[in-house]
Amino acid sequence: MSMYDMYKQKKKRTVDPNAPPRPNLLNHEKRLKDVVLTAQQQSDLVLQLRNRIDELERKQRAQTQYLSTLHNTISRLTKNG
């Protein structure tokens, strides 16, 4: 082995044309960013829907209380009148 052997160009391996493409770190990073973005969007949507549910539950409780008061007032008036 001579000292110039390390500078020789290496032979390329034969590539199987049916093989899937080689992994690319940039593709993995992009996929990871997409997954993180999707998870963040889902988290934001869940938070928004939770707030909406709380708002609707408050509205329903207020309406139930109003109707209960109205029912009691009407039943009191009909008993006295």
pLDDT digits (tens, 9 = 90+) for 19-34: 888 777 788 888 899 9
Question: Which of 13-22, 33-42, 71-80: highest mean pLDDT?
Answer: 33-42
Q: Which two structure tokens, joined as six digits, stand for 63? A: 């309406």
Domain that holds residue 55: 33-81
Of residues 22 and 36, more confidently modeled? 36
The average pLDDT across 1-25 equals: 79
Residue 8 in domain: no
Residue 60 in domain: yes
Predicted confidence (pLDDT) at residue 1 exceeds the cutoff of 60: no
Residue 6 in domain: no
With a threshold of 0.75, does the pTM exceed it? no
Residue 22 in domain: no
- Tell me how far CA of residue 40 lies from CA of 3, 4, 45, 47, 50, in angstroms: 56, 55, 9, 11, 15
Residue 23 in domain: no
